[in-house]
Structure 1
Amino acid sequence: MAVRAVRGAVQVDRDDPDVIFDETCSLVLEVIRRNDLALDDIISIFFTMTPDLASGFPAAAARAVGLTDVPMLCATEIGVPNSMERVVRLLAHIQTDRPPAMVEHVYLRGAVKLRPDLVRERRPGTRGPGGSTATG
């Protein structure tokens, strides 16, 4: 197995601890699902949030979905003028047999605009960017 990095981000509606918690849970679970990961496959996660988010810790959401033994760190993203607001990002180090080109990076909701080059077409019946379901 190789060590790979997977990126992800989600744009949240507002700076509210419950919203940050729920959306981060969705992001982490989607990274796990799309990359067929077991919890033990996740080595570490580094979270950042844009400076306009400060009411919750993304790592708390990751622990709530079962990542209790995974080292995690939260930080504030640099405040670049005119950049997207209300974004939680993650960089996870994982163990996988997938080659780098097959690792699925996950961008949800408005964060899809951050890296449209990494957004893949979803298979029918699977959740795509923004939580929509592909139908055909």
Structure 2
Amino acid sequence: MIRGVRGATSVRANQAEEIVERSFHLVKEIVNVNHIKPEHVVSVYFTATEDLNDAFPAKSLRRLEGWTHVPVMCMREINVPNSLPRCIRVMITVQTDKNQKEIQHIYHHEAKQLRPDLQSGEE
């Protein structure tokens, strides 16, 4: 079965180091709690709000051992009025035996407000 695993984080400022670091912590937790192996990943998509352009969040994925050949892309999040600023979202499409309710979606920092029904992850 192919499933999507979602997550999001936010940053305090449009700074490359923070964008990559927070994206890395987000993806690392998603991978760990869902026991995702790179060879089971179909693709990874990152989006960032228009106020973030100092770095590609996808750069964080290359810090994970074995993820060199995983297809990854970054895209711009649509600019919805009153939406969360400085937000990075990720969707990992993965082959898994888990059912939909077993998938753990992760939300960090201010992005926790996007899905209060799925509270998990670090501050």
TM tier, smaller: over 0.9
* Aligned counterpart, 2:41: 42
* Aligned counterpart, 1:111: 111
Amino acid at match of 1:100: Q
Per-residue CA deviations over 1:54-99 (Å, capped at 9, x if unaligned) read: 0000111111223211111101101111110011101110111110
* Aligned counterpart, 1:123: none
CA–CA distance in structure 2, aligned partners of residues 78 and 29 of structure 1: 25
Per-residue CA deviations over 1:2-51 (Å, capped at 9, x if unaligned) read: 11001100011111000001001001101101101122222210100001
**Normalising to structure 2: TM-score of the pair?**
0.94
Question: What are the ranges of 5 or more consecutive residues in structure 2 without an aligned counterpart?
Answer: none
- DSSP-derived class of the 1:5 partner: strand
* Aligned counterpart, 2:63: 64
Residue 120 of structure 2 is aligned to residue 93 of structure 1: no
CA–CA distance in structure 2, aligned partners of residues 80 and 38 of structure 1: 34
- How many matched pairs? 122
- DSSP-derived class of the 1:82 partner: coil
* Aligned counterpart, 1:80: 80
CA–CA distance in structure 2, aligned partners of residues 87 and 45 of structure 1: 17
CA–CA distance in structure 1, aligned partners of residues 38 and 45 of structure 2: 16
CA–CA distance in structure 1, aligned partners of residues 8 and 35 of structure 2: 18
Q: Please, what is the CA RMSD of the aligned residues?
A: 1.1
The runs of 4+ residues in structure 1 deviating greater than 2 Å are none
CA–CA distance in structure 2, aligned partners of residues 87 and 18 of structure 1: 15
**Normalising to structure 1: TM-score of the pair?**
0.85
State the identity %: 36
Question: What are the ranges of 5 or more consecutive residues in structure 1 without an aligned counterpart?
Answer: 120-127
